Structure 1
């Protein structure tokens, strides 16, 4: 009887161990597949965004706040082309006369990887998509305008301010990631997609066009589509050297711009890009849809 009871206890213990291991495995899988979002109150920092505390400190800093104010202090240049640079007013207090605002916590902006586009990487989430930027929209419009702060990873760790953009579409789409799904961009067409396991679904009109009107495709089929579109647009190609491979049109050449006199350059949908110590505004495609 003693042996029977002992055997029964051992079997129950094994079942409990197996259940625990399966539960932990499922949790780990969701953690890997899930989006880079704010965690529960007991653990407020997303585990899958490196140096997230540094990113939080940056978007809450006076420097970033003042840069946003400078961006919002100049009307968005109109027209489809690049116009004459407009100097940004050099005020002691860039936010003087503006309504109070804050910058929201950063969200992950994921993009398709060069290897996935080239077809050299497997059509699996960890090789198809990578974290490229962090984006933070304002908590509320300022004088009828919204803006998005973009952070780029710094070599050796941490983050730096890369741009301030008109509108909040990047952060809006990035915020649509849910537990067990991943949101990513195809920047060349400003397409936004949601990845559910290995199924790709469009989130805006550009993405629907990118899937040839289909409501969903497998990750493998999506890889075939982007490979056909961008096989000649990878790093080192003419498309890349023209500055368009990122899809954002961030200013690359600011040799003629003074680092002490930031300027805005035309476009009805625009972004302040920080390059070479100067700020310039460039037109970008609309992402609404």
Structure 2
């Protein structure tokens, strides 16, 4: 398995992608969405999306994906954005740790869905670099674009270690996908949810014995830790921000979506 980076459980929880007991931390003024949307709509992004979809075709056919892509092949994909840019939030390590008043999740990146003329779906991830928004990654599938649009007056966030998506509203955490239902059933209070994630990850935060030992393994909604997955390499490759499918970084398919790939 080729990857540009691997994430341990500790790094996954202790990194920059992770939201709030009552409210998520602000990521910036509302104009950020408009600025990110403009970047996602740019001709250069459309070209990159077209190349992404061609690579995706090749990967699915078992072909090499590092071959040149013609302008005609890119044009044939005719990629278009689907919907608006949305903020993606993710589980907060301070909340897991039990820090008083820590929000349950915090802003991770912007995301917007895209579709090719041949029916493929992808998500464009954007992060802020200085005063500008840039493309962080492109990934097959549409979870990061679809779920954040279901806020319904609350906040949507992901527990990426198990690929669960939740809505935080009126002091309750409710499930938006099947994995989240396994985790919180019909919904739990924020306090109860904190107890759940504390039990799953508190001993795997940065500086823990788990991190220092370099232990490997996966997580499950019910127990927090499962047996080592046979194809996860030298660390629990628990994608910080995704689900099924695959990642393409810099125009090259790196790995399946449940494996982490560095962005370009």
Q: CA deviation at 1:77?
A: 2.9
CA-based RMSD of the aligned residues comes to 3.5
Q: CA deviation at 1:207?
A: 0.7
Q: Which among 70, 84, 109 is matched to residue 105 of structure 1?
A: 84
Distance in 2, matches of 1:232 and 1:34, equals 24
Aligned to 1:41: none
Q: Which among 103, 107, 111 is matched to residue 131 of structure 1?
A: 107
Q: CA deviation at 1:209?
A: 1.7
Aligned to 1:195: 168
- TM-score (norm: length of structure 2): 0.69
The CA deviation string for residues 40-98 of structure 1, in whole angstroms up to 9 with x for no partner, is xxxxxx9755633321221011221111101101216359xxx9962153434662223
Q: Which runs of 5+ in 1 are unaligned?
A: 1-31, 37-45, 251-267
Q: CA deviation at 1:104?
A: 3.6
Q: CA deviation at 1:159?
A: 2.1
Distance in 2, matches of 1:110 and 1:200, equals 14
The CA deviation string for residues 101-145 of structure 1, in whole angstroms up to 9 with x for no partner, is 23542111111111011112436xxx222110111002x553021
Residues 185, 248 of structure 1: alpha-carbon distance in 2 compared, 3 angstrom cutoff? closer
Q: Which among 25, 45, 50 is matched to residue 69 of structure 1?
A: 50
Are residue 168 (structure 1) and residue 142 (structure 2) matched?
A: yes
Of 227-236 and 199-208, deviating more is: 227-236
Q: Contact between 1:273 and 1:282, CA under 8 Å: does it hold in 2?
A: no
Whose relative contact order is higher, 1 or 2, with alpha carbons under 8 Å and at least 6 apart? 2
Aligned to 1:86: 65
Residues 119, 247 of structure 1: alpha-carbon distance in 2 compared, 3 angstrom cutoff? same
Instruction: List aligned pairs for 1:171-250, cutoff 5 A.
Output: 171-179=145-153, 181-211=154-184, 214-235=185-206, 237=211, 238=214, 242=235, 244=237, 247-248=240-241
Q: Which among 39, 56, 69 is matched to residue 58 of structure 1?
A: 39
Residues 34, 120 of structure 1: alpha-carbon distance in 2 compared, 3 angstrom cutoff? closer
- TM-score (norm: length of structure 1): 0.63
Q: Contact between 2:167 and 2:175, CA under 8 Å: does it hold in 1?
A: yes
Secondary structure of the corresponding residue to residue 247 of structure 1: coil
Of 95-104 and 190-199, deviating more is: 95-104
Q: Which of these two proteins has the greater Rg computed from alpha carbons?
A: 1
Of 229-238 and 184-193, deviating more is: 229-238
Q: Which among 120, 139, 155 is matched to residue 99 of structure 2?
A: 120
Q: Contact between 1:173 and 1:192, CA under 8 Å: does it hold in 2?
A: yes
Q: How many residues align?
A: 215
Secondary structure of the corresponding residue to residue 271 of structure 1: strand
Q: Which runs of 5+ in 2 are unaligned?
A: 1-21, 217-233, 260-264
Distance in 2, matches of 1:249 and 1:232, equals 23
